[in-house]
């Protein structure tokens, strides 16, 4: 295992700091970004599924332009 050190907050006069080898940091950074993408994909999937569900129930707005859609949406939410 790589050497990882913690610098106590009493020395840094704030939060504890962690010192780790660059190779371990780079692995963590890659993992962190992959997790973030996974969360984004899940959020997008939920939005799409929600839209499919609304479409199935006939709750979608049909309009010729985004301007018209916003007008119709305003009426729908009142």
* All structural domains of the chain with their residue ranges: 5-77
Share above pLDDT 70 across residues of the chain, in percent, rounded to a whole number? 94
Check pLDDT > 70 for residue 69.
yes
Average pLDDT over residues 67-72: 84
Q: Would you say 24 and 3 are in contact if contact means Cβ atoms under 8 Å apart?
A: no
- Give pTM, 2 decimals: 0.40
More confident residue, 56 or 77: 56
Residue 9: burial class (beta carbons within 10 Å; 0-12, 13-18, 19+): exposed
Averaged over 36-62, what is the pLDDT? 82
Residue 8: closest CA among 34, 18, 21: 18
């Amino acid at each position: 295992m790589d050497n990882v050190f913690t610098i106590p907050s009493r020395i840094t006069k704030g939060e504890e700091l962690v010192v780790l080898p660059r190779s371990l940091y780079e692995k963590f950074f890659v993992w962190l970004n992959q997790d973030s993408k996974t969360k984004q994909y899940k959020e997008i999937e939920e939005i799409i599924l929600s839209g499919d569900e609304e479409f199935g129930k006939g709750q979608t707005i049909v309009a010729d332009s985004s301007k018209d859609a916003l007008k119709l949406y305003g009426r729908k939410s009142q």
